[in-house]
């Protein structure tokens, strides 16, 4: 029977249906096949990909869905992601995919089961159903053919409206109170508004790029209700180190290509970018969790991962002096690598090919800390997994579900973030539909 709460009856039945609130004909409740069927109310708060996906699933399941959003429009961070081409998901195999999601207290097998419910193929099919073709780049990252978010978001919102989702923008969530239904409080222009809901799905996002609306201000509201939250911290963001001025003059804005780097026991391969304040790029994003765990974060770069120390020394031949200048050509050191090696604190000119080769293979850089959360691509921290059951429902607030980046998980760039939001949005909405049915025995009153 999908997600309709049922009350036995007949057309014209004067009895109220689910929770004794509505008569047939009211609020989408209808007398069908001798039964008065009543739509359940699902309130979704947050108009990012997790909330929009939850709205889609809940509406398809037959619920009356209203999506509340603090800002005047939905999907602002999704649009920002579109500036980089909108990396929707990744094409790597399922097992490796599920391992990308990390965070404390994550139940074993959780992500495998979330992705089994909505995986990368499902996301690509979802885009295709919106008329948006996707392709997998050589890196395995999946993008819309047009590399844009705006057309996709426009069609998505239109499809949600057609499916009956009501949008209530400029509604800032302010609190929740239990009752026969959840009483959900919002700050609106000129005052407050309270709405009642059978189930609530919170999809309020993390704390990066607060100008898009995801400002983490929801934390105090949930903490007041006793929900434990891990502090939001920058993930997939840059790290700072005080480059010498001479080095910056030569290398600011230049890439370090085809390198590997490690933080403690974790290694990553790819690229970095030298910036005014330190380093950015995929390699340091991947190493973020390991760096955050180090009391004195240090990045060790291998500028020539395809060569051993011995091979590098051999390539320098019988060079008697000016090892670095010679290595620049013979080892094909890029400008940024050369500038870093030429200005390494505590190192005078290299006095042998062996010492230079050893440094090129393991160049330690002490980092002073991550760039601010506001600049990061995503956040670590959020609602602790211990607060949630497998339905993504808050154990202490039955009927309130959570989805998206506001849960305490993190993942590298590569499409894993949006995929994670879709998978958790799907799970939360499906379980919200099922929870309401199962939790309301009075919805089925014998004829
Ligand atoms: C520069 C940049 C590039 C990115 N590129 C990619 C990419 O290519 N691929 C990828 O996978 N990911 C990317 N991401 C990350 C991705 O955009 C996020 O992980 C994703 O948007 C999170 O979705 P969400 O629905 O959980 O939260 P959000 O998208 O943050 O949405 C949360 C919504 O909740 C609303 N809200 C917050 N508080 C309240 C409140 N109190 N009341 C009502 N509404 C509220 C906010 O206004 C917002 O609309 C990028 C992020 C950035 C910043």
> Ligand 1 centroid vs 255 CA: distance in angstroms?
28
47 and 195 share a domain?
yes
Among 354, 370, 386, the domain boundary falls at 370
Beta carbon of 47 within 6 Å of any ligand 1 atom = yes
Ligand 1 centroid from CA 423, angstroms: 14
Judgement on whether residues 358 and 377 belong to the same structural domain of the protein: no
pLDDT of residue 31: 52
Provide the residue range defining the domain that includes 73.
40-233+373-443
Domain end among 350, 370, 390: 370
- The SS3 assignment for 116 reads helix
* Structure tokens, 122: 């499902």
Lookup: tokens for 70? 């603090």
Classify residue 49 as exposed, middle or buried by CB count within 10 Å of its CB (0-12, 13-18, 19+). buried
Q: Is the CB of 282 under 6 A from ligand 1?
A: no
Token digits for 352?
A: 């042998």
235 lines ligand 1 (CB under 6 A): no
The span from the CA of 143 to the CA of 161, in Å, is 25
Tokens 């390991």: give the residue: 290
Ligand 1 centroid – CA 75 distance (Å): 7
The pLDDT value recorded for residue 320 is 77
Strands (E), 278-395: 278-280, 298-302, 363-366, 369-370, 378-383
Gap from CA of 411 to ligand 1 centroid (Å): 14
Would the CB of 172 count as within 6 Å of ligand 1?
yes
Q: Say yes or no: 208 and 260 in one domain.
A: no
Spacing, Cα 153 to ligand 1 middle (Å): 13
- 146-149-151 Cα angle (round to 5): 75
Look at residue 112 and tell me if it is in a domain: yes
pLDDT recorded at residue 438: 64
Strand intervals (E) in 189-336: 191-197, 199-202, 229-235, 239-240, 255-263, 266-274, 278-280, 298-302
- Start-to-end C-alpha separation, the chain: 17
d(CA 218, CA 406): 9
Ligand 1 neighbour 424 (Cβ under 6 A):
no
Domain membership of residue 26 (yes or no) is: no
d(CA 289, ligand 1 centre) in Å: 20
Cα angle 27-30-32, degrees, rounded to a multiple of 5: 165
Cα separation, 78 vs 67, whole angstroms: 16
Which of 220, 377, 422, 424 is the best mutation target for the ligand 1 pocket, counting ligand atoms within 8 Å of the beta carbon and taking the most? Answer: 377
The model scores a pTM over 0.95: no
207 CA from centroid of ligand 1 (Å): 9
Number of helices and strands in the chain (H, E):
15, 23
Question: Is 86 near ligand 1, meaning CB less than 6 Å away?
Answer: yes
* Domain C-terminal end among 370, 386, 420: 370
Residue 345 confidence (pLDDT): 81
Residues 341 and 400 in one domain: no
Q: In this structure, is residue 224 part of a structural domain?
A: yes
Q: What parts of the chain have a pLDDT lower than 50?
A: 1-27, 440-447
Residue with tokens 């995801």: 214
201 and 176 in one domain? yes
> Does residue 259 share a domain with residue 361?
yes
Please tell me if the CB atom of residue 218 comes closer than 6 angstroms to any atom of ligand 1: yes
Ligand 1 in contact with 167 (CB < 6 A)? no
Q: Whose Cα sits closest to atom 5 in ligand 1?
A: 81
64 and 123 together in one domain: yes
| Closest by Cα among 442, 432, 444 to 64 | 432
C-beta separation of 193 from 43 below 8 A: no
Domain shared by 247 and 356, yes or no: yes
Please give the number of the atom of ligand 1 that sits closest to the Cα of 206: 30
Regarding the beta carbon of 34 and ligand 1, being less than 6 Å apart is answered: no
CA 159–ligand 1 middle distance (angstroms): 20
Starting at the edge strand found earlier in the chain, the sheet holding 182-188 runs: 172-177, 182-188, 191-197
Q: What angle do CA 174, 178, 181 make, to 5 degrees?
A: 105
Asked whether the beta carbons of 416 and 178 are under 8 A apart, the reply is no
Atom of ligand 1 nearest to the CA of 86: 8
157 Cβ partners below 8 Å, 6+ apart?
52, 74, 75, 167
Q: Within a domain: residue 397?
A: yes
Q: What was the pLDDT predicted at 389?
A: 97
Residue whose CA is closest, atom 14 of ligand 1? 81
Structure tokens given for 77:
């961070």
Q: Do 357 and 382 sit in the same domain of this protein?
A: no
In this prediction, residue 253 carries a pLDDT of 97
H-run or E-run covering 161: helix 150-162
Within this chain, do residues 418 and 359 fall inside the same structural domain, yes or no?
A: no
Does 22 reside within a domain? no
* Same domain membership, residue 320 and residue 229: no
Alpha-carbon distance values, 352 to 317, 349, 365 (Å): 11, 9, 21
Which residues, in sequence order, are bridge partners of residue 196?
A: 183
Are 150 and 273 in a shared domain? no
Residue 281's pLDDT is: 96
Give the chain's domain count: 2
Return the pLDDT at 277. Answer: 98
CA dihedral (148, 149, 151, 156) positive or negative: positive
For ligand 1, whether the C-beta of 82 sits within 6 Å is: no
Atom of ligand 1 at shortest range from CA of 87: 8
Report the C-alpha gap between 54 and 212 in whole angstroms: 19
For the CA of 75, the closest atom of ligand 1 is 49
CA 342 to centroid of ligand 1, rounded, Å = 41
User: Ligand 1 centroid vs 337 CA: distance in angstroms?
Assistant: 35
Q: Indicate whether 96 belongs to any domain.
A: yes
Residue 16 within any structural domain of the chain: no
Q: Which residues contact 61 (CB under 8 A, 6 or more apart)?
A: 2, 3, 429, 430, 433
User: How many A from CA of 404 to the centre of ligand 1?
Assistant: 8
User: What is the domain-level CATH number for residue 50?
Assistant: 3.50.50.60
**Is residue 58 assigned to a domain?**
yes
State residue 288's pLDDT score.
Answer: 96
How far apart are the CA of 26 and the centre of ligand 1, in A?
Answer: 35
Determine the pLDDT at residue 317.
Answer: 85
């Amino acid at each position: 029977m999908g997600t309709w709460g049922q009350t036995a009856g007949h057309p014209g039945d004067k009895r109220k249906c689910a929770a004794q609130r509505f008569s047939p004909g009211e609020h989408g409740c209808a007398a069908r096949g001798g039964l008065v069927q009543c739509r359940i109310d699902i309130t979704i708060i947050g108009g990012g990909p997790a909330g929009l996906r939850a709205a889609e699933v809940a509406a398809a399941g037959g619920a009356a869905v209203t999506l509340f959003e603090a800002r005047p429009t939905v999907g602002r961070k999704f649009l920002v992601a579109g500036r980089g081409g909108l990396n929707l998901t990744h094409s790597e195999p399922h097992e490796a995919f599920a391992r990308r999601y990390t965070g404390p207290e994550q139940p074993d097998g959780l992500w495998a089961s979330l992705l089994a419910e909505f995986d990368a193929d499902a996301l690509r099919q979802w885009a295709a159903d919106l008329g948006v073709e996707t392709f997998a780049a050589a890196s395995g990252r999946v993008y819309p053919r047009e590399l844009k978010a705006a057309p996709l978001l426009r069609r998505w919102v239109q499809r949600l409206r057609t499916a009956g989702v009501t949008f209530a923008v400029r509604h800032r969530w302010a609190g929740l109170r239990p009752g026969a239904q959840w009483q959900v409080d919002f700050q609106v222009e000129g005052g407050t508004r309270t709405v009642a809901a059978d189930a609530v799905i919170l999809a309020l996002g993390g704390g990066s790029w607060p100008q898009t609306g995801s400002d983490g201000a929801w934390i105090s509201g949930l903490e007041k209700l006793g929900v434990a939250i891990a502090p939001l911290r920058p993930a997939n963001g840059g790290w700072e180190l005080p480059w010498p001025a001479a080095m910056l003059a030569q290398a600011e804005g230049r890439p370090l290509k085809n390198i590997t780097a490690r933080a403690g026991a974790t290694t990553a391969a790819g690229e970095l970018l030298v910036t005014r304040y330190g380093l950015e790029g995929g390699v340091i994003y991947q190493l973020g969790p390991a760096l955050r765990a180090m009391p004195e974060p240090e990045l060790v770069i291998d500028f020539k991962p395809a060569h051993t120390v011995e091979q590098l020394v051999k390539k320098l031949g019988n060079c008697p002096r000016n090892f670095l200048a010679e290595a620049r050509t013979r080892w094909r050191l890029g400008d940024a690598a050369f500038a870093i090696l030429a200005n390494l604190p505590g190192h005078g000119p290299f006095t042998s090919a062996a010492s230079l080769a050893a440094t090129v293979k393991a160049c330690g850089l002490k980092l002073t800390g991550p760039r601010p959360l506001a600049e990061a691509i995503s956040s670590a921290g959020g609602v602790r997994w211990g607060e949630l059951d497998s339905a993504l429902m808050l154990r202490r607030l039955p009927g309130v579900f959570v989805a998206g980046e506001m849960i305490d998980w993190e993942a590298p760039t590569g499409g894993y973030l949006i995929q994670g939001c879709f998978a958790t949005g799907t799970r939360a909405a499906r379980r919200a539909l099922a929870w309401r049915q199962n939790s309301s025995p009075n919805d089925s009153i014998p004829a």
